[in-house]
Amino acid sequence: MSLLSNKMKNQNVTYVFEIGRKDRLADEDSSKEFYYGYHHFSKEFKSVNLIELKNINFKNNNFIYFFDKLLRKLTNLPFHFSRVNNKKIYGDFKNADIIIFSTERSAMSSMLIIKKLKKKKNVKTLVIVMGLFVKPVNNFISKFLQKVSINFFLNIYDNIVFLSRTEFEIAKTKYPKFNNKLFYLPFSVDTDFWKVEKEMNFTKKDKIIFIGNDGRRNFDKVIEIAKKLPQYNFLFVTEKIDEEKIQSSNVTLIKGHWNLNLLSDNEIKKMYSQSRISLIPLINSLQPSGQSVAQQSMAMGVPVIISKTDGFWDYEKYQNNENIIFQDNEDVDSWIKAIEDLYENQDKVSYISTNGLNLIKETNNLDNFYKNLKKILALD
């Protein structure tokens, strides 16, 4: 190990997360993908810290809170300056040599603090984004303000990591002068956790699973699919569907939300192990939705049927009827046909499951993610 490497490993690395990380951190028996390399850094670097941006007391931040709301309305960007308006967060940032923001929201909210900090010390910054550069705006003023805001954002931060190849290509076209700061790094899952365990019972893989809460999930479609397939058992894991909306006796609804820790990863893992198919119907957008559920399913050997959207994260690696099944037809009957095909054709199930599992193990694993993250930060 070189002297330079030793010096690097003495640097203070600080991660900035939304809520939900600290509560799960103590649980060794849980997945680690939503920490984006934190555990790997903790093993290799002397000082690795975690900041969690929580909801704020609006009474103490009235002006900033309403200023945030105005900016969000005008730009459709995730401004939340009120969440970082305290001395403690600035103190945490001040001690860092490397700061990694796990979301664009936390980074957008921290822009002014980082700008101030960079005047006083040389700190490396990296932001993981998923959807920031494809936020729709409807009028000239909003488009102008959004572009000004993103230019300001790009001037402040050193490295912008995209989890979607599609959004990465769009950003390069829109903001070419910042191309040296833009990187595509595929989202990756914890393949040491999401794997088939010998002790699990796979003799009754009789469920069709749907997991998700984000606004791009097509909840109405999955309800309709279940209604039209009464012969199959469906498992919905979401907070966004009310019990009264489901009028089918073949659906089990379980309330689940990752940030709120309503279900353990082991509970979700058991659900995957009982599932024959994972459904991810989406509303078409440029937002790269469904990545984590798709990859977790594939790592567990569960074939995925997902909507073909403009924002799908990587059409180069994910191939229809090879390692995943795309649905580009909005007609529910086409989804039903794809589901019935997988129930009738065991060879196809095995083929897609095996290819999907191999893709995740070889490409979308946390070791690769961490190795590439260090390259982007010039820590190799």
pLDDT at 284 over 70: yes
Residue that is written with structure tokens 């961490």 in the block = 370
Residue pair 18/52 in contact (Cβ under 8 Å)? The answer is yes
What does the pLDDT average to over 159-168?
96
pLDDT at 326: 97
pLDDT at 194 over 90: yes
How large a percentage of the chain has pLDDT more than 90? 76
pLDDT at 356: 97
pLDDT at 123 over 50: yes
> 191-211 burial, b if ≥16 CB within 10 A, otherwise e?
bebbeeeeeeeeeeeebbbbb
Say how far apart CA 169 and CA 378 lie, in whole Å: 22
Say how far apart CA 78 and CA 135 lie, in whole Å: 10
pLDDT at 3: 43
Beta strands in 107-250 (DSSP E): 124-129, 159-162, 182-184, 207-211, 233-237
pLDDT at 187: 95
pLDDT at 344: 92
pLDDT at 159: 98
Residue pair 103/128 in contact (Cβ under 8 Å)? The answer is yes
pLDDT at 2 over 60: no
- What phi-psi label fits residue 107: left (phi over 0), alpha (psi between -120 and 50 degrees) or beta? alpha
Could you give the count of Cα atoms lying within 13 Å of 229 in the half-sphere of its Cβ? 24
Rounded to 10 deg, the angle between the 219-228 and 332-344 helix axes is 60
Q: Is 304 exposed, middle or buried (0-12, 13-18, 19+ CB in 10 A)?
A: buried
What does the pLDDT average to over 258-285?
88
pLDDT at 57: 52
Q: What is the mean pLDDT of the chain?
A: 91
pLDDT at 372 over 90: yes
Residue pair 131/187 in contact (Cβ under 8 Å)? The answer is no
pLDDT at 261 over 70: no
pLDDT in tens, 310-347: 999 999 999 999 999 999 877 999 999 999 999 999 89
Say how far apart CA 36 and CA 370 lie, in whole Å: 8
What does the pLDDT average to over 86-95?
85
**Which residue did the predictor score with more confidence, 8 or 167?**
167
pLDDT at 80 over 50: yes
pLDDT at 4: 46
pLDDT at 201: 46
Residue-range domains of the chain with CATH: 3-188+365-376 (3.40.50), 207-362 (3.40.50.2000)
What does the pLDDT average to over 296-300?
97
What does the pLDDT average to over 251-258?
85
Beta carbons within 8 Å of 261's beta carbon, 6+ residues apart: 20, 23, 24
What does the pLDDT average to over 206-226?
95
pLDDT at 1: 39
Residue pair 161/188 in contact (Cβ under 8 Å)? The answer is no
pTM of the model: 0.92
pLDDT at 8: 76
pLDDT in tens, 16-71: 998 878 878 877 788 999 999 999 999 999 899 999 987 655 455 678 888 999 99
Residue pair 288/264 in contact (Cβ under 8 Å)? The answer is no
pLDDT at 110: 94
pLDDT in tens, 345-359: 989 999 999 999 999
